[in-house]
Structure 1
Amino acid sequence: MASSSDSAPRRGFVLPQDEQERFLMHRVEELCRLAEQRGIARHTGFLSDREQTLAQAALHRAGCDFGTFRGGWPGAERKVLCLEPPDTWAEEPIVCLRLSVPRTWTEKLPGHRDYLGSILGLGLERTCLGDLLPDPENPRDTYAFVLSDKKEFIVQNLYQAGNCPVSVQECDAPSPAALRGPERERREATVPSLRADTVLAALMHTSRTLAAEAIRSGRVEINHLPLRAAHEEVFEGDLFTVRGSGRYRLEAVGGKSKKDRIFITFYQY
């Protein structure tokens, strides 16, 4: 297929859509001012990719150049915004926990939803928890990145995931196999245009009619925002979330075929 161009259009910044998003941006600006005025490092909780975009815009608006995003491992999706002014020292805000199923357990092993539900079921907010990484070479181990100040609470209170018993220990880093991240099958397709319904039909391997119906029924989000119209243009890097189907990343938009169709590369989470 034709390679993706470095100059392929990307989605521009989408203004905050509600009071919660506006509050996040104001909070980031406030943390920037506090960190700079007091010379003390500050950090947020774990942010989704949409929240990271809003936080980055808030950094620009505040004129802050000492903010970095970290998720505990190189391929992290959920990340903490760390505000560390020059000449300040800060403890690492993220720790890695290994969640292990005992070898005596012979029934079905817990999955991502089981671990997520059990940790949040302790009364923690979603911002306390980053990525969950399964170990492909040892299915009994899953690694969780959490805020440092919640480590002891989780270690002392998490005893099971779903119906499965688990033990929790802090570790320096996930296994090399887990750090490689999940292997995702990248697929290629051609589309007549970058309309949302056309691209979504290719991602889901369905008809354009069914894709448009999913959009009309409010089941589709792009970058965590509702997709309101089938004719909206989509861009390289966009994340599609389809309720009842899954998540898809439009990884690359390439050139055109001889029949004037656009090459795309994508994968499903």
Structure 2
Amino acid sequence: MVSTIDRNSLLLHIHDESKIIIAKRLIDKIEIVIKNHIIVSTDFLDPYEIRIAESILNKFDTINYKIDGGYINCERSIIYIYPSYLHEIKEDEISLLSYKNDNNYTHRDILGSLIGLKIERKKIGDIVLDDDCFFIFIKSELHDFVKTNLEKVSKYNIYCIDKEFQEPKKEYIEKKVIVSSLRLDVIISNALNISRANSNDIVKSKAVKVNFKTEDKGSVMLNPKDIISVRKFGRIYFDEIIGKSKKDKYIINLKFPK
């Protein structure tokens, strides 16, 4: 465990410039906690950024941390960082807003409306769609601003409702495919019914993330439970390997969110 902060050594394992910026902000917060003995929190981080943050936080024995996104199976979370001698902390940095969903808004519609209010993505947590409403998890500092100013999604008026959050059951469309290998470009090609060359071009353009990490090599091998995000196409969940075909190819099951 380290007691003094050597920034360079803490950043050695991070190669993505955008993630280095996030890691530097995290180290700034760690310094504040160590020097001032106070509780601080990060902005919302995706699961890959959380993994990077934990790899740094775990090197310090004078601080503790807690990850929270507002509900159990959240995707985006904030991290509370506090002195190790504190056993309980007040978790009040996340607010929840609920709205009626009368027009089948998509996640992209709602996020676009929030970004249109000049709200930074890092201030926005999960956006959860239910049958007739949607929920927005957001940094508490922006609660009143969003409640006052988020009046439209797409071209339709929206309004806040008072509804208790219950995590909806996730539903998927499943697709069984036969692939020659578990390479990223092969699985994307079969999942999206596009050519291998087109799949490779998409990957090389840095439009693909694997487990929330940008991946630009089609040759990367995937494993069951990996999450693939393809810009403009959406998400693909590599569910499982079912078996092998007579020609010794992989039979795999993929899931697509409804």
- TM-score class, shorter-chain normalisation, is 0.7 to 0.9
Structure 2 partner of 1:153: 145
Query: Aligned match of 2:127 in 119, 125, 132?
Result: 132
Which residue number corresponds to residue 175 of structure 2? 187
Aligned 8 A contact 2:38 2:82 in 1: yes
Q: Report the TM-score when normalising by structure 1.
A: 0.77
Identity, % of aligned positions: 24
- The runs of 5 or more residues in structure 1 that have no matched partner are 1-13
CA RMSD of aligned residues (A): 2.8
Secondary structure (helix, strand or coil) at the match of 1:248 reads strand
| Aligned CA distance change for structure 1 residues 186 and 70 (closer, same or farther; 3 Å) | farther
Q: Which has the higher contact order (CA 8 A, sep 6+)?
A: 1
* Contact in 1 for aligned 2:44/2:125 (Cα 8 Å): yes
The CA deviation at 1:46 is 1.0
Query: Structure 1 residues 265, 109: CA separation in 2 closer, same or farther (over 3 Å shift)?
Result: closer
CA contact (8 A) 2:45 2:78 kept: yes
Alpha-carbon contact 2:34-2:63 (below 8 Å) kept: no
Tell me the secondary structure at the aligned position of residue 150 of structure 1.
helix
Structure 2 residue ranges without an equivalent (≥5):
1-11
1:157 CA displacement: 1.5
Task: Give the match for residue 31 of structure 1.
Answer: 29
Q: Residues 106-139 of structure 1, C-alpha deviation per residue, up to 9 Å, x if partnerless?
A: xx44332222121222221111111111122x2x
Q: Give 1:50-199 correspondences, 5 Å limit.
A: 50-63=48-61, 66-85=64-83, 86-100=86-100, 108-136=103-131, 138=132, 141-169=133-161, 173-174=164-165, 176=166, 179-199=167-187
- Aligned pair in 2 of structure 1 residues 253, 71: CA closer, same or farther (>3 Å)? farther
State the AA in 2 paired with 1:66. N
Q: Which amino acid aligns with 1:208?
A: R
Amino acid across the alignment from 1:148: S
- Within 5 A, what are the aligned runs for 1:164-243? 164-169=156-161, 173-174=164-165, 176=166, 179-243=167-231
- Give, in whole Å, the separation in 1 of the partners of 2:206 and 2:30: 36
Partner of 1:249: 237
**Structure 1 stretches of 4+ moved >6 Å:** none
SS of the counterpart of 2:44? strand
How many positions carry a matched residue from both structures?
244
For the structure 1 residues 243 and 64, does the alpha-carbon distance in structure 2 shift closer, same or farther, using more than 3 Å as the test? Answer: farther
Q: Deviations over 1:19-50 (max 9, x none)?
A: 33112113223323433443322111111222
Whether the 8 Å CA contact 2:130–2:168 is kept in 1: the answer is no
Q: CA shift at 1:97, angstroms?
A: 0.6
Q: Distance in 1 between matches of 2:48 and 2:55?
A: 11
